Structure 1
Amino acid sequence: MIRLIPPFSGTDRRLWALAWPLMLTNLSVPLLGLVDTAVLGHLERPEYLGAVAVGANLFTILYWSFGFMRMGTTGLAAQAWGRRDSEAQAGLLVRSVVLAVVIGLILILFHQPVIRLGLVLMNPGPEVAMLAGEYAAIRIWSAPAVLCQYTLVGWLIGMQFPRGPMLMLITANSLNILLDVLFVTVLGWNSQGVALATVIAEYAAAALGFALVLRRLPGNLRLTRALLGSLADYGRILNVNRYIMVRTITLLLVLAFFTAQGARQGDIILAANAVLITFLMIISNGLDGFANAAEALVGEAVGGNDRHQFREVCRTTLRWSLWGALLFTLLFVLTGHTLIGLLTSIPEVRETARLYLPWLWMLPLAAVWGFLLDGIFIGATRTRDMQNTMLFSALVIFLPTWWLTTGWGNHGLWFSLVFLMLARAATMGLVFMHRSHNDSWFT
């Protein structure tokens, strides 16, 4: 049984030592969205805000399709940490960085058809589509830096050095904020200025990440042919993480579908949903601090074959995740109207966002279970379970629910999103209980 306020144990202290830097790191990510939204939301035309919403969503799908480079690296690195295998830790890092650079260059090479296809699927209005295309043509140049960041952040979390990602992302996001204000407010570059600011900040974050990683590697380590590995080594990394890739693409396609359906209801609905989705990103990134800490501690327990630590980490992370969800719910109930007013001065967008705000109040407690279980499954590298439960929740629950509630307009769209979160919680919870009952986490 989970006690909400038990004595503060050693596991609590270890969890918080990892979680608080990761929370600050994660919460700094949606700050970019907040600043982008605030800077563009105060311009005279909502098309700029809609264009960045569409363009940013396109790159969220594109880049996080390779999110396994962060999540998979964390699980594998944490298990190597639990085994105290420094050679495996270094080899994983080198091979993952090589994959990140190669994939990033391929994305740049073939970006034009990818961007065109993404804009067709999202189907924004003609002017928003044109502005989003200009944004995307600049933003794509950050691909190698972004994918390297995923690998570096995942490795540092697995090595239980959460301050590294915190320093990387807070520094980069601060730079992005300053450049947003300079390029958009001062120089008047609108959505193109937002894109250029993001590209510069991503490369700054990657450079800082490499510097931090080099300091964490053993002093006598040298780059050898063995660390680079063979094609089979890269194949094994991709094989382990293919389920995370399918799971992540499915989730991101759901969010893209959400944006596209909002766009079909007009630029005002699209812009209002962009404001509220920014708040959802704050919720998910904040609660993911506990989930990320669980990835490292669960991976260590599995790598070290420590069942007692595994159970303690799961119980402790659940308790603190629930407290976090309750606090986020209270925050948006009390301050949601004020926060919307801070993000946009366009009266129609402000009034529309406030109309749909109550759906946001439901999301922290609906989504927290999925975030927590993601962390446990990643740490234990049970990625096939993540894929299967996400596919079921998206295809069997989300899409039919949306179709049945199309008559509700944007309310039906938000209802479907809340229902998706509940479906993830239920399906992953059943798998968790089954594995725990059969003691198959360590098999």
Structure 2
Amino acid sequence: MLNQPSKFIRRFFKLASVNVISNLMVPLAGLLDVMFLGHLTEIHHLAGVALATILFNYIYWTFGFLRMGTTGMVAQAIGRKDNQAVVLIGLQHGIIALLLGITIIILQQPLQILGFAILSAAPEVKKSGMEFYNALVWGAPATLINFVLIGWFLGQAKSSKVLLLSVIGNFTNVFLDYLFIVQFGWESRGAGLATAMSQYLMFIVGFGLFYQENSWQNIQAFKKKFFDLSALKTALIFNGEIIIRTFALISTMAIFTNLSSSLGTEVLAANTVLMQIVGLAAYFIDGLAFATESLAGISQGSGNTNYLKQLLKISLISSLIIGLTSATIFISAPEQLLGLLTNHAEIIYKLRVYVPWLLPVLGFGSIAYALDGYFLGLTQGHILRQAMLIATAIGFIPLAITAWYFRNSHLLWLSMSLFMAARTITLARHLPKTFSQ
């Protein structure tokens, strides 16, 4: 399957290009959310959505293993030519996602009370955040099942189907954002409702694609194997490592946003816009990381690890180019580009001051994202967990506390830069032993 270098390279960039297009639609839709909200008369709607997003990042991305774990495990099953395992992994993770989504809806009130009690912001910001939360939370089951569907298709290197789902979900989201926010005037509540509804449409289409490949009779045949303890144990151990890794990552982003909020609504809004740009570049780079993840898993599963070095080299160079180029574009023309996202002069001024921090954040971050994809494909969850915990505890938290103490947003951005650098260093030190396996 991966027996010729030229074919291998072409396959990587074919997968990566489709993944990049698919991934870019997510942050572009997010940027349009920011644009719609950022041009409202009151800026607290944008700040409120940013605040509520912290809570949803915890709720959803704590369960990011539903996507990441599915991709690596399915890719290795493809490499082994174990078609039964491919379907079984999708079904197991899909049922888990459904149960978790229903649990989130049942516990939505306690989660809201606890979450907004911890987060600090002005009363009007919290009010807008709660309206966004109350609408978006109903999309939880669809969102989590979509994680599994995307991971399942990515593991099989079927990026075209992931692209189709992304097109449907994000175009629907943007259309409904315009309808609910601009036309109906529903503000932050409209943004949450638009996202929830688009997730359900994406789920319907995704399940239809899954069903096309697996008839109901075929699915029924897996009932006895669904609770196979050995397979479940392997999945739970790997997914447990990913949960811890993701929780540490989201905690870092949450602390960053919450400390931005403590520095004032204007700083929170400015940092939110810049983090949207980081997210835009990250989704671009993740397109390469997903291709790396798929091919690394297939290579590992087939027992053919000869191309891992070549795969990693291509992935790292491509990711770094994208990261540095993205940062340079926004640094070179901050007012023109950032002015598209908000027309508030005071926010644009702060953006111009802080935008140079994109260079170190995206420079180190691009390498870290590529390495994440590589180790996810190899299902090396313990390495990912260890690296993220070290980066958070040593690279980020000490300087973030210092930034809060001195009320200095530049120190806060420096802490984010060191966090990305620490992720890169801690992951890179584990690379040599993966080549000797």
For this structure pair, what is the TM-score category when the shorter chain's length is used for normalisation? over 0.9
Question: Which residues of structure 2 form unaligned runs of 5+?
Answer: none
Q: Within 2, Cα distance between the matches of 1:132 and 1:375?
A: 32
Question: Which residues of structure 1 form unaligned runs of 5+?
Answer: 1-7
Q: Which residue of 2 aligns with 1:418?
A: 417
Kept in 2, the 8 Å contact 1:122–1:259? The answer is: no
Identity, % of aligned positions: 32
Q: Within 1, Cα distance between the matches of 2:249 and 2:23?
A: 18
Structure 1 residue 236 displacement after superposition: 3.9
Give the AA of the match of 1:409.
N
Q: Within 2, Cα distance between the matches of 1:218 and 1:428?
A: 41
Structure 1 residue 114 displacement after superposition: 1.4
Structure 1 residue 365 displacement after superposition: 1.3
Structure 1 residue 377 displacement after superposition: 0.5
- Asked if residue 173 in structure 1 is aligned to residue 170 in structure 2, the reply is yes
Structure 1 residue 280 displacement after superposition: 0.6
Kept in 1, the 8 Å contact 2:69–2:376? The answer is: yes
TM-aligned CA distance change 1:222 to 1:387, over 3 Å = closer
Write the mapping of 1:320-339 to structure 2, written as runs, cut at 5 A. 320-339=318-337
Give the AA of the match of 1:63.
Y
Pairwise CA RMSD: 1.7
1:355 to 353, 356, 363: 353
TM-aligned CA distance change 1:11 to 1:331, over 3 Å = farther
Give TM-score scaled by structure 2 length: 0.95
Q: Deviations over 1:226-258 (max 9, x none)?
A: 353356654542222101100001000110101
2:295 to 287, 297, 300: 297
Q: Which residue of 2 aligns with 1:76?
A: 73
Q: Which residue of 2 aligns with 1:4?
A: none
Q: Which residue of 2 aligns with 1:45?
A: 42
Kept in 2, the 8 Å contact 1:90–1:227? The answer is: no
TM-aligned CA distance change 1:424 to 1:286, over 3 Å = same
Q: Within 1, Cα distance between the matches of 2:145 and 2:229?
A: 19
Q: Within 2, Cα distance between the matches of 1:425 and 1:76?
A: 24
- Asked if residue 146 in structure 1 is aligned to residue 156 in structure 2, the reply is no
- Asked if residue 319 in structure 1 is aligned to residue 325 in structure 2, the reply is no
Q: Which residue of 2 aligns with 1:433?
A: 432
Q: Which residue of 2 aligns with 1:3?
A: none
Greater mean alpha carbon deviation, residues 76-85 or residues 13-22: 13-22
Q: Within 2, Cα distance between the matches of 1:243 and 1:288?
A: 20
Greater mean alpha carbon deviation, residues 18-27 or residues 227-236: 227-236
Give TM-score scaled by structure 1 length: 0.94
1:265 to 260, 263, 266: 263
Q: Deviations over 1:150-172 (max 9, x none)?
A: 00000100011011111101211
Q: Within 2, Cα distance between the matches of 1:227 and 1:198?
A: 35
Structure 1 residue 180 displacement after superposition: 0.5
Write the mapping of 1:5-404 to structure 2, written as runs, cut at 5 A. 9-217=6-214, 221-224=218-221, 225-230=223-228, 233-404=231-402
Structure 1 residue 119 displacement after superposition: 1.6
Structure 1 residue 217 displacement after superposition: 3.9
Give the AA of the match of 2:302.
G
Structure 1 residue 397 displacement after superposition: 1.8
Structure 1 residue 362 displacement after superposition: 2.6
Q: Within 1, Cα distance between the matches of 2:320 and 2:352?
A: 26
Q: Within 2, Cα distance between the matches of 1:254 and 1:219?
A: 42
Structure 1 residue 219 displacement after superposition: 9.8
Kept in 2, the 8 Å contact 1:95–1:228? The answer is: yes
Give the AA of the match of 1:157.
L
Kept in 1, the 8 Å contact 2:132–2:192? The answer is: yes
Greater mean alpha carbon deviation, residues 192-201 or residues 221-230: 221-230
Kept in 2, the 8 Å contact 1:394–1:420? The answer is: yes
Structure 1 residue 47 displacement after superposition: 0.6
Q: Within 1, Cα distance between the matches of 2:312 and 2:86?
A: 24
Give the AA of the match of 2:413.
W
**What SS class does the counterpart of residue 124 from structure 1 fall into?**
coil
Q: Within 1, Cα distance between the matches of 2:57 and 2:337?
A: 23
Kept in 2, the 8 Å contact 1:74–1:295? The answer is: yes
TM-aligned CA distance change 1:306 to 1:218, over 3 Å = farther
Give the AA of the match of 2:429.
L
Q: Deviations over 1:84-107 (max 9, x none)?
A: 111110111111110000011011
TM-aligned CA distance change 1:419 to 1:164, over 3 Å = same
Structure 1 residue 407 displacement after superposition: 2.5
Kept in 2, the 8 Å contact 1:36–1:180? The answer is: yes
Structure 1 residue 61 displacement after superposition: 2.0
